[in-house]
Amino acid sequence: MLRNILLNESEKTYSIAERLFTFISNDELNWTPAEGKNWMTVGQLLMHCSAFGCGKAIQGFVKGDWGLHDGKTIEELIESDHTPSVEELPRVKSVEAAIELLKEDKKLTINCLKEVDEARLLSEHLKAPWGGEVLPLFHHLLQMIVHLVHHKGQLYYYIKLMGKNVSSNDLWEVNNAK
């Protein structure tokens, strides 16, 4: 039952994010809002949503595999490894590449959620490697989906600020055709 909630929210969130990606053209990947500072470019935001939004963290919580290279462990990472500055964030090379990365991340998320034992979702309590409270596994997994929801909303407002014709249905409705 809880696993189905996570699966349904993941499916919906990824589907809406993918549709929002299609509002962007490759020549807009360097765009940022005119007001304020420390904004990700559209290309960085697409990369963050597609490669760092959900799947790798869900895999880490479910399987203990955080996808680290060079023999590092999750405990060895420092704060800047978890939250690099906006200047250090990678960006996608194209919208098409972002959509492919998003599809891969969705597949990783869905597979991990299907594999997790339902009983673990409430019985296993742990702390995220980046800090915070000790929480049930279900709560951490839900927070990772919510992380993608927030960035999906950020992309929606970027699209609106770019002057494109989007409505709240584009943010919330899965079957809303462009």
State the average pLDDT over residues 145-165. 97
How many CB atoms sit inside 10 A of residue 41's CB? Answer: 18
Between 87 and 163, the more confident residue is 163
Q: Is there a domain that residue 6 lies in?
A: yes
- What is the span of the domain harbouring residue 115? 2-81+88-172
Q: Would 177 be classed as within a structural domain?
A: no
Q: Is residue 106 part of a domain?
A: yes
Q: Between these two residues, 36 and 125, which has the higher pLDDT value? A: 125
Grade residue 176 by pLDDT with cuts at 50, 70 and 90: low
Measured N-to-C along each axis, helices 2-21 and 42-51 cross at an angle, to the nearest 10 degrees, of 150
Number of structural domains the chain divides into = 1
**How far apart, in Å, are the Cα atoms of 162 and each of 24, 91, 121, 170?**
10, 18, 40, 15
- Asked, for residue 178, whether it belongs to a domain, the answer is no
What's 28's domain CATH number?
1.20.120.450
- Contacts of 30-36 with C-beta under 8 Å, sequence gap 24+, read 31/158, 31/162, 33/158, 33/161
Q: Could you give the CA distance from residue 98 to residue 104 in angstroms, rounded to a whole number?
A: 10
C-alpha triplet 104, 107, 113: angle, nearest 5°:
140
- What is the distance in angstroms between the CA of the first residue and the CA of the last residue of the chain? 32
pLDDT at site 153: 97
Mean pLDDT along residues 6-24: 97
pTM: 0.89
Alpha helices by DSSP H, listed for 52-162, are 55-63, 79-82, 95-115, 120-123, 137-161
